[in-house]
Amino acid sequence: MFGRMLGKVASFLSSGSSSSGSRCMLDLKGASRYYSASTYVCGDSMKDEYHEMDSSGLTFHAGDYKLESGVVLPNVEVRYNTYGKLNEAKDNVLVVCHALTGNSALDKWWGNMLGSGRAFDTDKYLIIAANALGSCYGTTGPRSINPSTNKMYMNDFPAVTIRDSVSLHMKLVKEGIGVSKVYGVVGGSLGGMQALEWALIGGAEFVPRLVAIGCGATHTAWQIAISEAQRQSIYFDEKWRDGNVDPEDPPLKGLNVARQMAMTLYRTSRGYEVKFGRTRDQEGNFEVKNYLEYQGRKFMERFDPVTYVHLTRLMDTHDVGRDRGGLDAALAGYAGRALVMGMDTDVLYPLYMQKELAARLPNSTFEVISSNEGHDGFLLEQEIVGNHLKRFLKE
């Protein structure tokens, strides 16, 4: 997908970014192998939230698409995947929305909940997962070709909102799949924000069931600050070039640091202590340092820095009360059933946010996921999440 950029990744990985000389060697298929001169084994400690990621799937051609800003994006495409079959009544579509760096391959990140008899029951539902607008996994985004220049958009890609992405996915469901309502919408983190917009844009008649996990009703100053700090790490990479990024030589070092910052906040103090403590490798480096370097390098291989900047900005647009009379009025107006879940150790989207969200939804159930995994518990605690989902979707 990224063409010769992979060569730059390979060059960066082989050269290393650490003064210690300890580096995680990766092939270009996403399979981590080892840290040289280190006792650390990639994937041996903390569980990874994503498996191998790519842009495979079906494509919906949406044509020209008008954004909230008034800008018209030409020839927009949406990459999506489906699981299960559409019933005769066309009322069994279950939409699942991915998180910030996810894709439409639901089986790669929530696979333990997908299949016959599971929460995402392929015998009962047609499950649809679509890649967000502005991502780099098949849907039109910064690395797509701008037809007016025949070059990648990169930072010329317009600002998009969560509502832009959700409305585009609704177009896919209505026109591409041909249904007049869905059974429900489920998502965690950014996916939960999308699920909320599905419910409020579509209303209870179109979206009678809503599941939002690990998010709040808005992106607060805390989350915006964290996103901005990660963006700044990309801006300070000399290859950002004041936004004039070379698609073949992007600011990978900045992306690496941004991912390391994110992986710290996605987890917990207790989780890091249990997994790593103060253990060092043979060179005297803390193993937790090796782990973060591994995560940063692995991420460089599968994601794009410009896309990361644009998608984190998209997350910052999250405010369900905008132009709807405020949070209370917006959420009180949703007449469907809602399930809100939060992780008790989440420092990125603290549990109080889910409590407040559930309190504002008139017909909601609130569940707490007890986990040492922090925010990433919504991806890693699939048995717990799946059991709550099964009960809610059956009711």
DSSP E strands, 32-144 = 32-35, 58-66, 72-83, 93-97, 126-130
- Residue 326's region, left for phi above 0, alpha for psi from -120 to 50, else beta, is left
Other CB atoms within 10 Å distance of the CB of residue 388: 18
H helix runs in the chain, sequence order: 5-15, 106-109, 162-171, 190-206, 221-235, 252-266, 269-275, 287-302, 305-316, 327-332, 351-360, 377-380, 382-394
Kindly report the backbone phi and psi dihedral angles of residue 287, in degrees, each rounded to the nearest multiple of 5, phi listed first.
-65, -30
Residue with tokens 């607008």: 133
In the residue annotation, 48 being an active-site residue is answered as: no
Q: Is the dihedral of CA 112, 114, 120, 121 positive or negative?
A: negative
The single residue of 189, 227, 233, 364 carrying the catalytic annotation is 189
In the residue annotation, 310 being an active-site residue is answered as: no
The single residue of 237, 304, 319, 346 carrying the catalytic annotation is 346
Beta-carbon contacts of residue 281 (< 8 Å; ≥ 6 apart): 22, 35, 37, 38, 39, 40, 287, 290
For 132, 193, 246, 369, the CA distances from 151, given in Å and listed in that order, are 21, 31, 11, 45
Other CB atoms within 10 Å distance of the CB of residue 9: 19
Render 284-327 in DSSP notation, one character per residue.
S-BHHHHHHHHHHHHHHHH--HHHHHHHHHHHHT-BTTTTTTSH
| Burial grade of 349 (CB within 10 A; 0-12, 13-18, 19 or more) | buried
Instruction: Give the tokens for residue 62.
Output: 């949406």
The rounded distance, in Å, linking the Cα atoms of 226 and 9 is 25
- Output Rg (C-alpha) for the chain, integer angstroms: 21
CB 215 within 8 A of CB 189: yes
CA quadruple 163, 167, 170, 174: dihedral, nearest 10: 160
Catalytic residues: 189, 346, 375
